[in-house]
Structure 1
């Protein structure tokens, strides 16, 4: 055989082997765990922090696996204290979970850093109807006009009350006609200083406390463009002065008492008649108070307002299994996935019309109050550097409630520092 013929034969053999090796491939691309053939398993790593979600999450993943038998879904539950550090470190190193829980305060930092995937192209490709989700959460998880997280479940704020304390004082239960003035008037009647019972807890906290009252007063925490703080407005000052008056008059536990004992515990132990609380507190408070527990809409100031927060499912921007991850997110946040969530009583599903199971989870409690609050809900205020300006906010406002500095000074400092932080954000 000539040298030339030998070389041609060798090339033919090599090409034949390559064709054989590649034959039958039905790869969809991006397979991080196998060769990509139809018989190979792919693995999706899912991360969240609350093991109470396990049962309904497993049910929903089982639905996904019916259409994705070759995808192995591994769920890791990391305690809250370690979740964010572990997540950010892994994502920054271009590894980490494929699909994971995201909350409002961290969203902008992750989206602006390119750590989570812009889902808008996938949404547009599949014509996913995002109007089916609570608008406040769609707003919360939108960055540069694109949706980066599909809403999953939410929290809103209502006014919990102790029926027994109201009955003893001969005061009618709160309803949707109550205002700030009604709360002030009745808190005085419901307070029993001799027995250490407060008429109202004015929470020195943001989500279930002063954020709501700032918006009810007609103000804002951060403007829609996320370029300016509203803490130094007259409306914000009026909200804090209204809260502070309860503490000064002895109708509410003061800041020091709230630091020593969690306000939710004070209310749950029968030491307060009214407590603005988060919807997710319902099972715990019902366990403590039973049928003595009632809930009403959050009383209005100049207007109705209630902070709405909730979680979304997001996708690692560096996932090698984009389509599989996206398909999983659609199932998790779809109608059936949300019904599984609602039926567990875990929280209010973000998918409109699937909340019936949650509403029935505590029959004696009018949980519809929290769903109705979504009609006047305000998205939890966030920006790229939420953690930085909230650190300033917390210190200044806590000092003001402790009487160390006037509220006007605390709010001015908070606004000034917050505006400086906002000016340095990437999205501005």
Structure 2
């Protein structure tokens, strides 16, 4: 299979520090040392606390964090698989999950979950299903994020506009964006950039469209096009910077610098927003405004075990512990991300009391899982060249979306045939 070749045929290369090795997985002192692969340094302090709690419960198992920057994480992980030097336990996301599961490099967890009564029901079902492949569970969620509407209260106050609330619709966003845009001060009302997770996908789902359904693209669907038009219309009217300007300064940065009054963004960005004094003082959060329906995107990371690990018993103990309440509470208290374990989010909410963070948790009830297939990146990467002109104020979103649908269907067909 081509997917197995992609993962198994890479040349061996230097890999993550602290990766697994050794014949029986035992250290000289009779204990076991696991490697734990992750990419986010902001989460490292919280993960160290979780690991310390785990090691107190399992004194014969120690865990070393293998921290690799996001920019090289997946390349490094692929090359490490061939030589069996991948971390014993590592982070997985939805974009790459099915590729790795289909490639046979992840340890099946369904049997372990059943034997140890791992509390899967305490995690959002949409995320649990996101990390299952052909009926087998390969990953257990550790956190989740949803998309909300971030807005600048000071800019709204200056324009005399009421703050966004749960009654807002797309029409309200358009009206506010028009009033908030000030060409002389180079302030735009909204950032309608071509970001898949935080802009395109929530807009498409809010219009009642879809990105991927039954193995086919939904970009040619009229409701999907309606969602894309909601974004590109604001660019065409000058209420949002064009995509060409976003290359130099993305919407998130423009929001931080108070050059954009409204921006769709992740709950996971709350910590970085909180670190900006002005935003801590007058940054606001609301649920996403309603299109044809209420919708947001939900995604989250999962812990998985390498199928080539020589320490699978110990690795499972770590993954099982991280799926429980104690680990989730530690993670929530760290304030970087929302723990996916039900009933443990209060510590995250309390970590940034100035922000209305509860909106991100409340949106779970109508959140749509992040779309993925066995080779998500192939068709996702088509979006930038095919939609780029329409997101740069040149019009033509209808034909661009239909062309994207055709190319995406072709990629999905090739994926199924591989």
Using the size of structure 1 for normalisation, the TM-score is 0.88
Displacement after TM superposition at 1:421 (Å)? 1.8
3-state secondary structure, aligned to 2:260: coil
Greater Cα shift, 258-267 or 302-311: 258-267
Map of 1:164-243 to 2, 5 A cutoff?
Answer: 164-223=154-213, 226-243=214-231
Give the SS at the match of 1:424: helix
1:106 aligns with 2:92: no
User: 1:134: how far off?
Assistant: 1.6
Give the distance between the partners of 2:245 and 2:44, measured in 1 at CA: 36
Aligned residues: 397
Aligned to 1:256: 244
Superposed CA RMSD in Å reads 2.1
Q: CA deviation at 1:35?
A: 8.6
The 5 Å alignment of 1:3-18 reads none
Deviation at 1:374, TM superposition (A): 0.9
The 5 Å alignment of 1:124-143 reads 124-143=114-133
> Residue deviations 1:366-388, cap 9 Å, x none?
00010111111111111111111
- Out of 281, 294, 297, the residue aligned to residue 307 of structure 1 is 297
> Superposition pairs for residues 4-403 of structure 1, below 5 Å?
32=22, 34=24, 40-223=30-213, 226-288=214-276, 289-403=279-393
SS of corresponding position for 1:81 = helix
For the 8 Å contact 1:397–1:411, the answer to whether it is kept is: yes
**How far 1:364 sits from its partner (Å)?**
1.0
CA distance in 1 between counterparts of 2:378 and 2:180 reads 39
Q: Which has the larger radius of gyration?
A: 1
**Deviation, structure 1 residue 51:** 2.1
Relative to structure 1, is the Cα distance of residues 35 and 121 closer, same or farther in structure 2, using a 3 angstrom cutoff? closer
Offset, 1:139: 2.1
Contact persistence 2:89–2:306 (CA under 8 A): yes
CA deviation map 1:53-90 (0-9, x unaligned): 22221221122222322223222111111111111111
For 1:327, what is the secondary structure of its paired residue? helix
Q: 1:21-67, CA deviations, whole angstroms, 9 ceiling, x for partnerless residues?
A: xxxxxxxxx99555979972222111111222222212211222223
Looking at structure 2, the residues matched to 62 and 129 of structure 1 have their Cα atoms a distance apart, in angstroms, of 21
Q: Which residue of 1 aligns with 2:12?
A: none
Change (3 A) 1:51 1:33: farther
Distance in 1 between the 2:216 and 2:287 partners?
29
- Give the SS at the match of 1:310: coil
Q: Is the 8 A contact 2:147 2:296 kept in 1?
A: yes
Distance 1:406 1:35, change over 3 A: closer
Task: Decide whether the 8 Å contact of 1:203 with 1:276 is kept in 2.
Answer: no
Give the aligned partner of residue 408 of structure 2: 418
Summarize deviations over 1:92-151 as a string: whole Å, max 9, x none. Answer: 333311100011111111011011111111111222231100222112211112221100
> Whole-Å Cα distance in 1 between the matches of residues 67 and 27 of structure 2?
30
Tell whether the 8 Å contact from 2:25 to 2:32 is kept in structure 1 after alignment: no
Distance (whole Å) between structure 1 residues aligned to residue 364 and residue 417 of structure 2? 27
Please report how far the alpha carbon of residue 194 of structure 1 lies from its aligned counterpart in structure 2 after TM superposition: 2.1
What is the match of residue 17 of structure 1? Answer: none
Quote how far apart the aligned CAs of 1:405 are: 6.9
For 2:407 and 2:320, locate their aligned partners in 1 and report how far apart those are by CA, in whole Å: 40
1:223-280 deviations in whole A, cap 9, x for unaligned? 1xx5111011101111111211111111111111112211111111111211111111
- Name structure 2 gaps, 5 residues minimum: 1-19
What is the alpha-carbon distance in structure 2 between the residues aligned to residue 62 and residue 117 of structure 1? Answer: 24
**C-alpha contact 1:178 1:299 (8 A) present in aligned 2:** yes
TM-score normalised by the chain length of structure 2 = 0.90
Stretches (4+) displaced over 6 A: 35-39
CA 1:255–1:190 in structure 2 vs 1: closer, same or farther (change >3 Å)?
A: same
